[in-house]
Amino acid sequence: MSDLIYISFIGEKTVGKSSIVDSYDSKHYNPDLYATKRVETHIMKNSFTGELNVYVYDMAGETHEATIIALCAKCDVIVLVYDKTYKKSFRKIDDFHNIIIQHIYPEKSVVVLLGNKTDDTLGEQVNTDEGYNKHQYLKTDLFIETSAKTGYNINELFQKIEEEVKKKRERIIEVFQKEETDYLIEPQIHNYICPCSCRCICPSCRCCECTLL
């Protein structure tokens, strides 16, 4: 099992995707970031357990749908970002969600809804309840509000992502192990022994093509 977490940040331009990653990575806010011109990648050491590396794709606001699809297939985590001070970016979340939901595995992928710029309370156009309702409506795994500017909830974001990824990975292993166990005990449940000399204990495989079956 890979110890890398692949994360994509998706959202309208200027919602703060690069600033969130930068704020976590460098531990300070840089108001002079250049606009992302293409898909950017950052490799960061997770600062909580130190066990997991976080690999972030920061997408430009106008990233082509095909690029989003290709990256979604690869990612463990998709963070859908909107700007709390810009209603249009919140509405756009539905479009992005529509694209990604068709191209991810819900059992494997963690989808996060993130409202950024909590520090700008005067400019707020999307309140916490609206964000939370959208999270419930879209059934995203996590909902969080952050400020890349003040650092509010930035560490918590990555911590929660890591916890959620671990949970999903453990669940996949559990299901896989259960399926293996079920397969092994199934013949005993049926209490089946092939009447010919092949000693097959599976009633459905027809491995011996026994004419007595």
Ligand X SMILES: Nc1nc2c(ncn2[C@@H]2O[C@H](COP(=O)(O)OP(=O)(O)O)[C@@H](O)[C@H]2O)c(=O)[nH]1
Give me the residues that bind ligand X (CB under 6 A), please: 11, 13-19, 31, 33, 35-36, 61, 116-117, 119-120, 147-149
Find the binder of Mg ion among 8, 18, 147, 153 (CB under 5 A).
Answer: 18
Burial 100-109 (b: 16+ CB within 10 A, else e): bbeebeeeeb
Inter-residue contact 125 to 85 (CB < 8 Å) = yes
| CA-to-CA separations, 4 to 34, 113, 162, 172, in angstroms, rounded | 27, 21, 10, 16
Neighbours of 211 (CB within 10 A): 6
CA–CA dist 162, 157 (Å, integer): 9
What's the token pair of residue 213? 């079956």
Smallest distance from the beta carbon of 19 to ligand X, in angstroms?
Answer: 3
Q: Which is nearer to ligand X, 46 or 147 (CB)?
A: 147
Inter-residue contact 63 to 39 (CB < 8 Å) = yes
Interface with Mg ion includes 140 (CB under 5 A)? no
Find the binder of Mg ion among 8, 12, 29, 36 (CB under 5 A).
Answer: 36
Smallest distance from the beta carbon of 16 to ligand X, in angstroms?
Answer: 3
131 makes contact, choosing from ligand X, Mg ion, none, with CB < 5 to 8 Å by partner type, with none
115 makes contact, choosing from Mg ion, ligand X, none, with CB < 5 to 8 Å by partner type, with none
Smallest distance from the beta carbon of 14 to Mg ion, in angstroms?
Answer: 8
CA–CA dist 61, 178 (Å, integer): 42
What's the token pair of residue 162? 């890591």
185 makes contact, choosing from ligand X, Mg ion, none, with CB < 5 to 8 Å by partner type, with none
157 makes contact, choosing from Mg ion, ligand X, none, with CB < 5 to 8 Å by partner type, with none
At a CB cut-off of 8 Å and minimum separation 6, what does 70 contact? none
25 makes contact, choosing from Mg ion, ligand X, none, with CB < 5 to 8 Å by partner type, with none
Q: Where do contacts with Mg ion occur on this chain (CB under 5 A)? A: 17-18, 36
